[in-house]
Chains A and B, each alone.
Chain A
Amino acid sequence: AQSVAQPEDQVNVAEGNPLTVKCTYSVSGNPYLFWYVQYPNRGLQFLLKYITGDNLVKGSYGFEAEFNKSQTSFHLKKPSALVSDSALYFCAVRIYNNNDMRFGAGTRLTVKP
């Protein structure tokens, strides 16, 4: 069975500082890993994905994520946080030919001015 864990319910950072939102995964095959963001009263929006290749993936709004196979992690990062980045972030995993995308519990990111 596939699953993801987001160990932090909440992450607080100051505007302009780097941010990291953590995610670890567990799958029986090669993973497809995703990050989605949810703003208040909205559906989830795709940020980025890792399929294969370069372990550092760049996505929307200046976010990037690093795939680490040995640590089974896929942490989301941004060099300089903005107040507008404040939202709920979800990590998700799939395996090939499986449409059951498993989401983590979500991490609420708050960026303070």
Chain B
Amino acid sequence: DAGVIQSPRHEVTEMGQEVTLRCKPISGHDYLFWYRQTMMRGLELLIYFNNNVPIDDSGMPEDRFSAKMPNASFSTLKIQPSEPRDSAVYFCASSLRTGGFEKLFFGSGTQLSVL
């Protein structure tokens, strides 16, 4: 398996623009997580899905952020409008849940820079 695939690897955009980050989880995994990593706040859980259904989005910082999972093999994280403080590395991770003790498989991340 190719692992968790994220695109793009790097995104540079201007403040106010819409940004869409993409993720393809490992085939067969039923949980998908979006994390954000910054120097100041570390690794934060934004939202996670189970069987394509959003379960907990309490970590989503604002209404400008939205996430969807239209099918088992694809998820998007959208920021509209983007702001400079959204600059961070965004990671997608997936897992096959068996009680909470399974490991997460992370993608390589999307480095987002909002100018």
List A residues at the B interface (Cβ < 8 Å).
Answer: 32, 34, 36, 41-46, 49, 51, 90, 94-106
Contact B108 A43 (CB under 8 A): yes
Q: Give the top 6 A-B pairs by smallest Cβ distance, nearest first.
A: A43-B106, A46-B103, A103-B43, A32-B101, A105-B42, A44-B106
Interchain Cβ contacts under 8 Å between A and B, 12 examples: A32-B100, A36-B104, A44-B91, A44-B104, A46-B104, A46-B105, A49-B103, A90-B43, A99-B97, A103-B42, A104-B42, A106-B43
Once the chains are docked, how many angstroms separate the CA of A103 from the CA of B4?
19
Contact digits for B99-115, partner A, Cβ 8 Å, 1 yes 0 no: 11101111111000000
Residues of B within 8 Å of A49, CB to CB, are 101, 103
Knowing A94-B101, A99-B31, A99-B55, say if A43 contacts B42 (CB, 8 Å): no
Contact A43 B45 (CB under 8 A): no
CB distance from B6 to the nearest CB of A (A): 8
Best-buried of A43, A44, A98, A105 by chain B (most CB within 10 Å):
A43
